Amino acid sequence: MFRGSITALVTPFDGGKLDETKFKSFVEWQINEGSHGLVPCGTTGESPVLSHEEHIRVINICIDVASKRVPIIAGTGSNSTEEAIYLTKSAKEAGADGALVVTPYYNKPSQRGLVSHYLKIADSVDIPLIIYNIPGRSVVDLTLESLKTLSNHSNIVGIKDASDNLARTLSIRLELKENFSLLSGDDVTATGFLAQGGNGCVSVCSNVAPRLNAKLYDLWDAGKYDEVWKIRDILHPLNVALFCEPNPAPIKYACSLLNKCSPETRPPMVPIDSHTKERIKNCMKVAGIID
């Protein structure tokens, strides 16, 4: 079962090109800081603007640097089923421990279409699949009934849910098999997600606060809830600030304050404004991440 603080990694750029040196260093730092898993090429990693060659390269670098020390769940989703199969096969060949597959965006498939999409991927590639449900970006919302159907496939092992519906989390836990991984897609509600039966979070914030985020889940597992609440409260203002403009521009700026990467994003993403920069900087100071 995938669990804990799983970082949705940023993809560093330098002059428009992939900064492999920074990325290798960043993956190593994440592991040393205690992250329980890593997701290369998710939305935070700007997967929509990576070429196939870059996408596969980023996944390979992450797997090579991690060297089996933590699970690597590669982002391989697409609104094209065939493209998703291709990317998932590539991740499998590279040695990924799992694949994170977002619901098809823009096409607006029906529930039958969503079920067909995931079953075709699961039948084509023998790798643990995590479904990524994020209605705010993809428009479609995978229902509990559809998820129940998909969970019967041996390769579909969990869901990353970013629906902001904590009632759904409990429904999933009660309806599906116990070893089905329930991962939050929202840092701001991650502890509520745990209380409703969740297992962890694919985190944006852990790009800059990996140790604090990992500690939160370790303390949760140890039943030290008063200490969990303290970390939750420390990180909350930063979690909110990191989404006051579209992800991943805010988190890349935050990473730049730690010299982990440049704040550079690819179009159509643009740099964040000066007010947002100041807000993020102040929140990082309050959390003790920077001086």
Q: Give the tens place of pLDDT for each residue, 224-276.
A: 999 999 999 999 999 999 999 999 999 999 999 999 999 999 999 999 999 99
Per-residue pLDDT tens for 166-210? 999 999 999 998 899 999 999 999 999 999 999 999 999 999 999
Catalytic residues: 132, 160
pLDDT at 61 over 90: yes
Please report, rounded to a whole number, the percentage of residues in the chain having pLDDT higher than 90: 99
Which strands form 73-75's sheet, in the order they lie side by side? Answer: 37-39, 4-8, 200-203, 181-184, 156-161, 129-133, 98-102, 73-75
Measure the CA–CA gap between 37 and 126, rounded to whole angstroms. Answer: 20
Residue written as token pair 């006051």: 244
Give the model's pLDDT for residue 1.
Answer: 83
Three-state DSSP at 38 gives strand
Q: How far apart are CA 247 and CA 214, in angstroms?
A: 21
% of the chain at pLDDT higher than 70:
100
For domain 4-225, give the fold. Answer: TIM Barrel (3.20.20)
Amino acid 177: pLDDT: 84
Closest CA to 66 of 90, 35, 87, 43: 35
Angle at 260 between CA 61 and CA 72, to 5 degrees: 35
Asked whether the beta carbons of 270 and 243 are under 8 A apart, the reply is: no
For residues 97-101, give the mean pLDDT: 98
What pLDDT does 212 receive?
98
For the chain, the structural domain boundaries read: 4-225
279 vs 85: CA distance, rounded Å: 40
Q: What is the pLDDT of residues 102-148, one digit of tens each?
A: 999 999 999 999 999 999 999 999 999 999 999 999 999 999 999 99
Give residue 288's pLDDT: 97
pLDDT score of 28 more than 90? yes
